[in-house]
Structure 1
Amino acid sequence: MSECVLYEHRGPVGYLTINRPKALNALNEEVLLNLENAISLINEDKRIKVVILTGSGEKSFVAGADIAAMKDMSPVEARDFSRLGQRVFRSIETARPIVIAAINGYALGGGCELAMACDIRVASEKAKMGIPEVTLGVFPSFAGTQRLPRLVGLGYAKEMLATAKKVPAEEALRIGLVNHVVPAEQLMEYCEGLAAEICQHSTAAIAYGKMSMNAGLEMDMDRALEHEATLFGLTFSTEDQREGMGAFLEKRSPKFP
């Protein structure tokens, strides 16, 4: 892993930081590949229950993709770059742990798409989000045209696309683009509080529930219900289920690993 993506863990919480502050943490191929590698390592580390993902510096979460690196791409190169971003962000969306985006500033273009791939989004009151790619003659292609309508509805997503508007944090909260807005100086503390709350519960159950939600959105109701029942059955193969239900019947707090 290079210096453009920093990773550390403190107990069950992993911290991922996009570290290109001079470029406002813009995404290029190196960043994307290192982010993918970090997520792969996190998935294999069963100690990690929650990941907090943020950008370095005070101005930007991720200001977008690296335009200088993209400008002279051929159509085939652009398609492949889109597929790379889609693959990496999908790996975040389907990661075993819950991923919290700590949006500390601008989350534009690829940065907004990165935040949308996370499970929970917490924004600083100074944050601004948007998909302004049409000002460059392109559109968001790291799954932005797919995730944004699912989060805020088709009409508002098309408005954000066509106007290239930068949505302030409170408006992002109102339309469902983020879960919470907090003062800038409290952002990491708030995210760590959420992480601590999540870490109290069954990691296996959360992972199966996350899988059920992600997959179910792409299915008709009958198939989604069958998928849910199958995953629910799998929880009964886990030590977490035995501990959780045993603790309930014994009137004590569960001790999940």
Structure 2
Amino acid sequence: MSDPTTATSTGPLLDRDGVRLTVEDGAVATITLCNPAKRNAQSPALWRALTEAGRLLPGDVRVVVLRGEGVSFSAGLDRQAFTPEGFDGEPSFLDMARGPEAELDATIAEYQEAFTWWRRNDVISVAAVQGHAIGAGFQLALACDLRVCADDVQFAMRETSLGLVPDLAGTKPLTDLVGYARALEICATGRFVRAEEAERTGLANLVVPAADLDAAARDLTAALLAAPRDAVVETKALLREASTRTYEEQRVAERAAQGRRLRDLAGLGE
């Protein structure tokens, strides 16, 4: 895949541990997983870089596009994590499991931060997904608000087959998108979800030929930028919280949000 954006005049804002952050025209940021030789396998260092990328986003960024270089979006967790050696400078997952329970919980919480900021209200995140998106790769795609997929996409949640659970904040969006029964079946079997099913069940907002993935992501980004930013931010906040509110609570939230928009349009904003 070619890079759909260009770097800022000073170069990438972040380029380390398999993650590169660039900004185009102020409003669009691209976060690229850039270790295609390992099919963008993930590690704790990569997760820390993703968390840092979220912190480094300039305030005028409205859309964040997440993509992976090479034939696969991300083949999931680098299995080196489960070897006795682990990664250089990192404890192996086996050693972490032998440590205090509170420390293990805190470490997993730190890892989850790489997967949680994508849904914040001030940006819309779009995953452009091709090839394999397995385990942590699947959960990273699920972390985004929207997913544009190539017709060769293969999602799979393989954690359960390894004796683990999906723990990188992916179970909630997966269940919200496809429902409990299908989410359970996908996770418990570890099977592949391919493009047609992904689009039919709502995992994919759009499926396009692999050669058209970058162009489709650009077109969607342009459409997302067409409306005024504050209206998009308020709408996203309403929709994100809708499932946790009663019908009456959502009506109240709609009125409050619309009041803010009307006052702003009338020049009465704070």
Partner secondary structure for residue 218 of structure 1: coil
User: Normalization by structure 2: what TM-score?
Assistant: 0.81
- Match of residue 68 from structure 2: 55
Distance in structure 1 (CA, Å) of the matches to 2:107 and 2:248 = 36
Aligned counterparts, 1:1-257, within 5 A: 1-3=14-16, 4-11=18-25, 12-42=27-57, 44-46=58-60, 48-58=61-71, 60-70=72-82, 71-75=93-97, 76=101, 78-238=104-264, 241=265
Work out whether residues 97 and 203 of structure 1, in 8 Å CA contact, stay in contact via their aligned partners in 2.
no
Of 143-152 and 177-186, more deviation after overlay is shown by 143-152
Any unmatched runs of 5+ in structure 2? 1-13, 83-92
Of 229-238 and 178-187, more deviation after overlay is shown by 229-238
Work out whether residues 15 and 21 of structure 2, in 8 Å CA contact, stay in contact via their aligned partners in 1.
no
Work out whether residues 48 and 111 of structure 2, in 8 Å CA contact, stay in contact via their aligned partners in 1.
no
Query: Structure 1 86/215 Cα, relative in aligned 2: closer, same or farther at 3 Å?
Result: farther
- What is the one-letter code of the residue matched to 1:152? V
Distance in structure 1 (CA, Å) of the matches to 2:188 and 2:62 = 38
Distance in structure 2 (CA, Å) of the matches to 1:214 and 1:149 = 14
Residues 18-75 of structure 1 deviation map (CA, whole Å, 9 limit, x = unaligned)? 1222222122221112112212222x421x22111111112x1121123322442433
Aligned positions, number: 238
Distance in structure 2 (CA, Å) of the matches to 1:227 and 1:21 = 44
- What is the one-letter code of the residue matched to 1:62? S
Residues 165-223 of structure 1 deviation map (CA, whole Å, 9 limit, x = unaligned)? 01111111111111111000100101101111111211111111111111222223332
- Relative to its length, the structure with more helix (as a share) is 1
- Match of residue 89 from structure 2: none
Query: Structure 1 50/66 Cα, relative in aligned 2: closer, same or farther at 3 Å?
Result: same
Of 206-215 and 76-85, more deviation after overlay is shown by 76-85
Distance in structure 2 (CA, Å) of the matches to 1:95 and 1:28 = 27
State the percentage of identical aligned residues.
Answer: 30
Any unmatched runs of 5+ in structure 1? 244-257
Distance in structure 2 (CA, Å) of the matches to 1:163 and 1:193 = 35
